[in-house]
Structure 1
Amino acid sequence: MSKIGKKQINIPLGVEISVNGLLVQIKGPKGELQVRLHPKVSVSVADGAASVAVKNPEDKRQRALWGTFRSLLSGAVAGVTEGFTKRLAIQGVGYKAALAGDKLTLHLGYSHPIELVIPKGLAVTIEKNIIVITGIDKQMVGQFAAVVRSRRPPEPYKGKGVRYEDEVVRRKAGKVVKAVGG
C-alpha cells in the first residue's frame, strides 16, 4: 500500500470533481484545472471525498503512480480553492524588475535587460524588490518562479541575485589578504 496514495482527498464546499475516463476536471471558486491520469490509475468520488486506486497495489511502479496522482489531485483541489504563491526577492545594487503588459523585465547586472513572457493563468506583481507570482496551477507557479530565479541565482559571496524569499543563502568567506612585512 502507498502511504500517500491510500489517503482520501477531502473535497471542500464549492469544489466539484468530475471524472471522464482518464481526465479528471476540478472546478472551484478560483478556476478550473484538469489532471490527466495514467491508464493504471483510477479515481472515485463519493461523500465529499475522492480516492485514488491502482489496478495492482503489489506492483512497485503502480504504487509510485498511486502516490503521485493522489498528490497531483490534492494540489489541484488546493489550487482551485486557495491558489499558490511564490515570492522572489531581488538583492543587488541596480537589480530591479518591471512589468509591461504580459512581460516581466529584469535588470540583473547584465549588459541587457531580460524579458520573460508571463504564462497565461499566472498573475505577477512587484512590491519594491519582491516579485510575487500567483496562480492556481502549482506546477506552473513553481516552474515560472524557477525560471526567474535561474536568470541570476544568488551567489555565495555577497548574496546578490534572485532568490526565494524564505531561501537561506549559504555564505562563503572571501579571500584572506596576507599581511606584507618582514
Structure 2
Amino acid sequence: MSSPIYRLPIGVNCLSNNGKVFVSGPCGVVDFYCVSKIYRKGNMIVFLPYLSSYYSSIFIQAVLGVVLGYSVELVLKGIGYKAYKSDEKLIFTLGFSHSISIDIPEGVFVRLNKKTLSLISANLGLLQNFTTSIRAYRFPDSYKGAGIVYVNEIVTCKEGKKN
C-alpha cells in the first residue's frame, strides 16, 4: 500500500471542490473525481479517507503531468497518408474516399511534421484516449505494416502468399 501522505513539488497546487480534485502546475491543469477530501500543511497533502491504489496512481500521474508533461509520437506509414491541422481539428487523409476530421480535445497540444504527429498533454488518460481514437482509423496492417503506429513500435508482418 502506498503512503497516505504526498509531497507536492514546487509550483504545483492542489485543491478539492465537491468531489473533484484539481492539480495545477507549469504544464497545465488536471482534474479527476475522488471521494476523499484534501488536508494540506505546507507542501504536504493527506487525503482522508485514504486513497485507494487506483486513485493514488491517478494522483501521481496528475502531479507528474503538470510538472513534466506527457508526449506521444505517432507516425503515418503508408502511401498518401497525410495529416494537417485546421482550427481545432485534425484532418487525416488515410486512403479512404473521404477525409477524416477529429476534434482536438482541450488540454492536448498537437505538433505536425510531414509524417509524424507529436501529441503533448498534462493529462495522461486524456492523451492515451485521444491517441487510441486516432489509431482506430488505421490500425497497422499485418501484411504491409502500413497504418498509424507509435514511433518505436515494431509491427511484425505476416508472410505473403506462397506459390
- Structure 1 length-normalised TM: 0.80
Deviation of 1:24 after TM superposition, in Å, equals: 2.0
> For the residues of structure 2 that align with 1:31 and 1:95, how far apart are their CA atoms?
32
8 Å CA contact 1:121–1:135 kept in 2: the answer is yes
What amino acid is aligned across from residue 117 of structure 1 in structure 2? D
Q: Counterparts in 2 of 1:84-103, with a 5 A limit?
A: 84-103=70-89
Name the CA shift for 1:70/1:148 in 2 (closer, same or farther; >3 Å). Answer: same
- State which structure, 1 or 2, has the greater radius of gyration over its C-alpha atoms: 1
* Secondary structure at the counterpart of residue 79 of structure 2: coil
The count of aligned residue pairs is 163
**Match in the other structure for 2:14:** 17
Equivalents in 1 of 2:160, 2:48: separation in Å? 54
**For residue 60 of structure 1, what is the aligned residue in structure 2?**
none
Q: CA deviation at 1:169?
A: 1.2
**Could you tell me the TM-score, scaled by structure 2's length?**
0.88
CA change 1:43–1:175 in 2 (3 A) is farther
Judge conservation of contact 1:94–1:108 (CA < 8 Å) in 2.
yes
1:22-101 aligned within 5 A? 22-38=19-35, 41-46=36-41, 48-52=43-47, 54=49, 66-101=52-87
Structure 1, unmatched stretches of 5+, are 56-64, 178-182
In the alignment, residue 15 of structure 1 is paired with which amino acid? V
AA partner of residue 32 (structure 1): V
Distance 1:90 1:8, change over 3 A: farther
- Counting aligned pairs with the same residue, the percent is 29
1:94-147 CA-partner distances (Å, limit 9, x unpaired): 111111111111111111111111112211111121111111111111111111
Task: State the Cα distance separating 1:52 from its structure 2 match.
Answer: 4.5
Over aligned residue pairs, what C-alpha RMSD do you find? 2.0
Which residues of structure 2 form unaligned runs of 5+?
none
**Structure 1 residue 138 and structure 2 residue 135: aligned?**
no
Contact map agreement 1:106 1:113 (CA 8 A) in 2? yes
